[in-house]
A and B are shown apart, each in its own frame.
Chain A
Amino acid sequence: MISSNRPLSPHLQVYRPQITSTLSILHRLTGIALAAGTLLLTYWLVAAASGPEAFATAQGLIGSFIGRLLLFGWSIALFYHLCNGIRHLVWDAGYGFEIEAATRSGWMVVGASVVLTLATWALGYAMMGGA
């Protein structure tokens, strides 16, 4: 093989997980989860267009314990994918490739996703008057 000097992908079984590699696969996993979440978005819009009864059923499902649990998962996946997506766009522009910079931006993404998720839910529960 003449291309022996080409970089190799990390061999997952022998590669120690790092913040950069962990966040990288998390970007994919949250992307897949969010793609599944588009089912809920579509269902919500179709229910709204179908009329008050269908919409009440949808709101009931979304507002149930399981519904809220799923919604919480999707919201943190969304904020993570959004923040890490911006990190990717900065890389695409050619910045932040140094190891320390990538580690720092990674932890910033984790912090921002957690803060944004908790702030959104706090605001949501405040809207409901704590219900």
Chain B
Amino acid sequence: MNDQSNLRSPLGRVRGLGSAKDGTHHWWAQRLTALALIPLTIWFVGAVVSLIGADHAAVAAWIASPVVAGLLILLIVATFYHAALGLQVVIEDYVHGEGAKIALLLFVKALTIVLSLSAVLSVLTLLFTRA
């Protein structure tokens, strides 16, 4: 690599971290959650199709099985983590006003935390009240 195309200072290269100070963590987390979501998503879509026409008791009983509840929680966590990372990049790319950018980033972070927590607690409620 020649000096012209290298944007990193020697110190930055030694530390191995970029300007965000977390190195490749964002990139790697986005890929790991993507990988986890391949089987989880296929499983969930298949399950939802098989639940078509099922009433509340049948759906609640399905969610209340420990394996299903566990997979659902993994799906929820991976989905919201992946979505938060992806939306963060979109906001950083297209929102240029510093104030609006920070406000949107915090809003997305807060929203994904609230939604994922609500979803996980719903699964746990069904797991512990229906067992």
Contacts and interface: CB of A to CB of B under 8 A. Distances in A.
B115 A38 contact: yes
B41 A78 contact: yes
Interface residues of A, number: 34
Interface in B113-131: 115-116, 118-119, 121-123, 125-126
B122 A89 contact: no
Contact of B52 (A51, A75, A78, A127): A127
A39 B116 CA distance: 10
B15 to A, nearest CB: 22
Contacts of A75: 45
**Interface of chain B: mostly helix, strand, loop or mixed:** helix
Contacts, number: 90
Interface size range on B against A: 35 or more
A39 B52 contact: no
A128 interface: yes
Interface of A: 2-3, 5-6, 28, 31-32, 34-35, 38-39, 41-42, 45-46, 48-49, 51-52, 55-56, 75, 78, 82, 85-86, 88-89, 92, 120, 123-124, 127-128
